[in-house]
Structure 1
Amino acid sequence: MSKQGSDWWRGAVIYQIYPRSFMDSNGDGIGDLKGVTEKMPYIASLGVDAIWLSPFFTSPMKDFGYDVSDYCDVDPIFGQLEDFDELIEHAHKHNIKVIIDQVLNHSSDQHPWFKESRSSRDNDKADWYVWADAKTDGTVPNNWLSVFGGPAWHWDSRRRQYYLHNFLDSQPDLNFHNPDVVDALLDSVRFWLERGVDGFRLDTANYFFHDLELRDNPPKQEIVEGSIGVSLDNPYGYQLHLYDKSRPENIAFLKRLRALLDEYPGTTTVGEVGCDFSLKTMAEYTQGTDKLHMCYSFDLLTHDSTMTHIHKTMSTIEEGLGTGWPCWSMSNHDVERVASRWNHGKANPAKSKVFMAMLLSLRGSVCLYQGEELGLPEAELTFEQLVDPFGINFWPEFKGRDGCRTPFPWTNDSKGGFSTIENTWLPVSEAHLPLAVNVQQGDRHSVLHAYRDFLHFRKHHPALIDGDIEFLFSDDDVLVFTRTHKEESLIVGINSGEQAHFTAPLSYEVRNIVMPEGLKIGEYENHKMILPANSVYIGKIVS
């Protein structure tokens, strides 16, 4: 059964929807809020507990909604406030919670706050953003870099100063050291709470504060290609980001945010944390009951899919988490789809099912990205088809984020059932059509059915939702652990490689339980777990 009450979020499965690409209800080639509402029965059929909506706020769309020009309204391409209210109503009728993205670190340069701030050095909002004088030679204030390439400072001729932007230069950073800024942002959070949202996903939750002294970041002592935030074609990964993010002042803001949410029982927060110390930061941000409810990091969004890496990541967070709570994700709107990233560039339904069972069996809440349940691979796009400024800047070494954002394939016709027109904002991927919903619904052994079956199976096992975890074994292919909650204790074996076996402690007496269809199931006999290639075993420990 689904968890009820104010702690519903512990162990919850949250389905991330990128509205531009989910369902186009009005035939303009762009997904919208009415499209999400239309597909609510499908979402409910998956067995998820909540949806997370990527930004739908008013925006010039330079970064496709992550550049907000009005925190309290819906952009016309997605609909109106009434459409959002209708979405909330339909979601709640299906017992689905609604979490929305909050992009608090920065706004659009078209936001009225920034327009006023840049108009002079002495207006009412002059210090609502991070402004700094040039060095005596006219160069930028320090060595901070933008995630999207180049210096994190942009010259403004009106103020004759630089402003800080951790992302695009059209996304100026708000100055959280100004209490008026914090008050205004919290007012915008309250606006959505009053409309009935159940929580917030906090974009770049560790970026809110910057070092007031604007000290230079030191270089990394060791640069490892493929580690968190590091790509040798982007100089951002060459720095140790001590001063431009993950500042200690963030904690006080998170406490104020939590106090606001506590006025609305049953609401929750999940923070995105990307930094050199992400697991440590996750622990700091979620310990106790006065900061974030949960965080997720980029540690499972890398190319390393070995069970050794999974075990190390989980063990590290368990050792330092204390009373905190993690949230895990294998995919989102910013990274290559997991079906390609963890399968050497090709879709592999058997491995997709194994990784799904692993993710949904680990301790923590889970974010699933739309299309993950179909095993969609990364879409291949030409340079001419790109719209993502990140991808355009770093092409061809890095192809950007468009490949994971193409329209969702509902049917296997040329338009994918997404829109009534051919020229959608990004093209429908031909490689996705054989994996469309209508195709997989007719195949009892599809990835879609495996997700649905396992998600519903999980609801009947409290140990998988909120139980403690103990790791028994790992190598690059195999991970074995237990989950325990009150009277229920389960042993879980995951194998993403060739056939393997594991000998359990003699004290374990294990009884087989009925597993979902569509998965390749291992065996357990005489304290030995036998795991065929790409298989899963879950059994009940009875003594």
Structure 2
Amino acid sequence: MSLHKDPDWWRGAVIYQIYPRSFQDSNADGIGDLPGITARLDHIANLGADAIWISPFFTSPMKDFGYDVSDYCDVDPMFGTLADFDALVARAHELGLRVMIDLVLSHTSDQHPWFKESRANRTNPRADWYVWAEPKPDGTPPNNWLSVFGGSAWAWDGRRQQYYLHNFLTSQPDLNLHNEDVQAALLDVARFWLERGVDGFRLDTINFYFADKYLRDNPSLPPELRNDSIAPSVNPYNHQLHLFSKNQPENLEFLRKFRAVLNPYGAAAVGEVGDAQRGLEIMAEYTSGGDKVQMCYPFEMLQPKRLTAAGLEETFARMAAAAPDAWPCWSYSNHDTVRHLTRWNLTDEAACTYATMLACLRGSICLYQGEELGLPEAEVAFEDLQDPYGIEFWPEFKGRDGARTPMIWQTDNGQGGFTTASKSWLPVTAPHLVRSVAAQAGDPGSMLAHYRRSLAFRRAHAALRTGAMEQIGATGSAAHFIRRGDEVLFCAFNLGDGEQTIRLPEGKWQTVGTELGSQPVTGTNVTLGAWQICLARQV
């Protein structure tokens, strides 16, 4: 079916992230693909998601597993064909799921035809399509900028006798968006996919699009302000305040142009804001005013330290101070972070509480494949690693492969139902097999069942999807707030092991959400035991 082009469909939506290499293999080569995703879309629809976000499947040499694009407008053969993509979109729309795809606009692969032409000489038509710079007189790089993947962000090219910028791998040169032709080409990429029926984009590294045109040095960052949400602590990238290598003001006008491309299609974009110091403020800047991207994906809930009640209160206070109309897209896990069950050392009971709280927050939300099964981080041996980031910083940092292992569909299959090949691209681990979709599907006490109930509760209450969020507070380990829309809901979550007594807001309250374990409301207080919740409606 054709989905109604509601321009606000994204507001409060639940977006399910698919890492295509690891979702479902349909051709027995051990690597997931687009037909495999199509075959498993019913699972996502039954979960209660509104949309899917598919990580990159474009033509690529796969040095960074698709985040190094060599052709923006085609499917890498390992994932299928454009016809397979069209079939995926058609099936998703039949199921009422919108489709978002991952666009990497800050950089390409060094195998992209644009870069091959650009590096040939200094006078070709695309000579200025990437960030090129002269060496210092002593031959060293033009400034002190560092790569997220370690070392200098500059690589020498012998043909042009210049350095080129790469904020990530050396094989991922940064595009020069100060060039209007580059901007136009990237906007044409977006139009290509919109014409194929996509409903929006996840924009990778959205705050990296522009570099300072004067290439000024970044200042150093004091040790007490360093944060490892973007790079591991063993990476010197954390030693700088990235004042000039990203977060440039010119980005705002480009995002306005991008939004103008989206609007006629009723499409939406969610940007990944990779910034440890100013993530929330940049998110507010990029999503306020209704003329840039609709949502941004800050890192506040992707931190190594467990999200606490006080942390939730502080996060929303900072966001409100930056821009009241900012619209976040919250998540606990993704393909770049340790899965949150392991990262925060959660029991299943605690994970269920966090899942319900996520479903009650103002903003849109992202779920990462396998999160609904309660998958922990997989242990991947060094000899099985694929992630260049993990290989570079092993063993202090084990990389991202532990979150990228295959989705588990069956328990009684050595590959978890992911593939019929004898070996998958990353190994399936025994602790995951017992948490398969098949094992949990008929169990009302399972994590999968709890996620389905939490998302159904969010869908049933418009105030949770689009309403205001007020009176955000913390009482000991308990977080609590009001959601106000066509009804008024009080939501409280004990994020700890001790008992907490919370005073209810003024008014009369009636318990809702008993199917999620909501504790009864009596009198003016509610007492929550370890990891208990209270959901109540004002009457």
Alignment of 1:349-364 (within 5 A): 349-364=348-363
My pick for the range that moved more, 476-485 or 97-106, is 476-485
Alignment of 1:44-83 (within 5 A): 44-83=45-84
CA contact (8 A) 2:339 2:403 kept: yes
CA distance in 2, matches of 1:352, 1:437: 17
Q: What displacement does 1:171 show?
A: 0.3
Residue of structure 2 in register with 1:438 after alignment: 438
Q: What displacement does 1:3 show?
A: 10
CA contact (8 A) 2:148 2:231 kept: no
CA contact (8 A) 2:477 2:500 kept: no
CA contact (8 A) 1:523 1:531 kept: no
CA contact (8 A) 1:225 1:231 kept: no
CA contact (8 A) 1:521 1:531 kept: no
Q: What displacement does 1:4 show?
A: 7.8
CA distance in 2, matches of 1:531, 1:422: 48
In the alignment, which of 300, 308, 311 is matched to residue 310 of structure 2? 308
CA distance in 1, matches of 2:461, 2:127: 54
Q: What displacement does 1:497 show?
A: 1.4
CA contact (8 A) 1:226 1:302 kept: no
CA contact (8 A) 1:270 1:296 kept: yes
In the alignment, which of 508, 518, 521 is matched to residue 521 of structure 1? 518
Residue of structure 2 in register with 1:458 after alignment: 458
CA distance in 1, matches of 2:85, 2:505: 55
Q: Which runs of 5+ in 2 are unaligned?
A: none
Q: Which runs of 5+ in 1 are unaligned?
A: none
- Structure 1 length normalisation: TM-score? 0.96
Structure 1 residues 328 and 162: alpha-carbon distance in aligned structure 2, compared to 1, 3 A threshold: same
My pick for the range that moved more, 501-510 or 163-172, is 501-510
CA distance in 2, matches of 1:226, 1:58: 33
Q: What displacement does 1:315 show?
A: 1.8
Residue of structure 1 in register with 2:500 after alignment: 501
1:465 counterpart SS class: helix
Alignment of 1:103-502 (within 5 A): 103-224=104-225, 226=227, 228-229=229-230, 231-264=232-265, 266-275=266-275, 276-305=277-306, 306-343=308-345, 348-412=347-411, 413-475=413-475, 477-486=477-486, 488-502=487-501
Q: What displacement does 1:473 show?
A: 2.8
Structure 1 residues 228 and 428: alpha-carbon distance in aligned structure 2, compared to 1, 3 A threshold: closer
1:73 counterpart SS class: strand
> What per-residue deviation string (whole Å, max 9, x for no partner) do you get for residues 312-332 of structure 1?
112211232232211111111
CA contact (8 A) 1:33 1:79 kept: yes
Letter in 1 for 2:528: L
Letter in 2 for 1:318: A
CA distance in 2, matches of 1:472, 1:234: 35
> What per-residue deviation string (whole Å, max 9, x for no partner) do you get for residues 207-260 of structure 1?
000001100000013434655436431100110010000000000100000011
CA distance in 2, matches of 1:212, 1:226: 26
Aligned residues: 534
1:282 counterpart SS class: helix
CA distance in 1, matches of 2:96, 2:505: 43
Q: What displacement does 1:122 show?
A: 0.8
Q: What displacement does 1:520 show?
A: 3.7
1:312 counterpart SS class: helix
Structure 1 residues 476 and 202: alpha-carbon distance in aligned structure 2, compared to 1, 3 A threshold: farther
Structure 1 residues 459 and 124: alpha-carbon distance in aligned structure 2, compared to 1, 3 A threshold: same
My pick for the range that moved more, 77-86 or 269-278, is 269-278
CA distance in 1, matches of 2:505, 2:194: 52
Letter in 1 for 2:511: N
Q: What displacement does 1:460 show?
A: 0.9
Q: What displacement does 1:444 show?
A: 1.1
- Structure 2 length normalisation: TM-score? 0.97
Structure 1 residues 475 and 341: alpha-carbon distance in aligned structure 2, compared to 1, 3 A threshold: farther
1:524 counterpart SS class: coil
CA contact (8 A) 1:230 1:238 kept: no
Residue of structure 2 in register with 1:534 after alignment: 531
CA contact (8 A) 1:176 1:209 kept: yes
| % identical equivalent positions | 54
CA distance in 1, matches of 2:271, 2:460: 28
CA distance in 2, matches of 1:515, 1:77: 46
2:432 counterpart SS class: helix
1:196 counterpart SS class: coil
CA distance in 2, matches of 1:164, 1:467: 43
Q: What displacement does 1:528 show?
A: 1.0
> What per-residue deviation string (whole Å, max 9, x for no partner) do you get for residues 426-474 of structure 1?
0112110111111111321011000011111211111111111113531
